[in-house]
Amino acid sequence: MNNNTNQNAKENIIKVEKVTDHNQIENAFAIRKQVFVEEQNVSPERESMDDEDAIHYLATVNGEPAGAARYRNMEKGAKIERIAVLSSFRGKRIGEAILLKILDDLKDEKKVYLYAQVNASQFYIKNGFRQTDNYFLDAGIEHVEMDFIK
């Protein structure tokens, strides 16, 4: 009898947490730098604007940093920003886990919105957002404003 288990069948444990310590924030910032600055050529200054006013999140897979995001309380509501997943973890529902955690934390907010890169808008629609007619360029990338429908 073979007692060896299939190593490939190991379940990935995704954990999304609000950032509470220096190590977590450094991991979150490193993920965002990789995705936005290195992959999408956003300037480091633009990418990190308003970080001090935000609530940050870190996603891990089996303890390894995989994704990050933040939200800020703005005049018109809670604005979700900077959802980023490392390329090696894409397609594994990390972004969805991050978004759902933030939405759960914001369930009592009157308005939740975000500015999505147009190529990611279907992801947000699938997760309860509606596009507005407000399209614009940010850091040379086309975005659309989207509202969460409760």
Write the CATH number for 89: 3.40.630.30
Q: What's the half-sphere exposure (Cβ side, CA atoms, 13 Å) at 21?
A: 2
User: What distance, in Å, lies between the first and last C-alpha atoms of the chain?
Assistant: 53
In a domain, 3, yes or no: no
> Domain limits at 19?
13-148
Domain count of the fold of the chain: 1
Question: 1-47 pLDDT, tens per residue?
Answer: 444 444 455 689 999 999 999 999 999 999 999 999 999 999 998 88
In a domain, 1, yes or no: no
Question: 44-102 pLDDT, tens per residue?
Answer: 988 888 889 999 999 999 999 999 999 999 999 999 999 999 999 999 999 999 999 99
In a domain, 2, yes or no: no
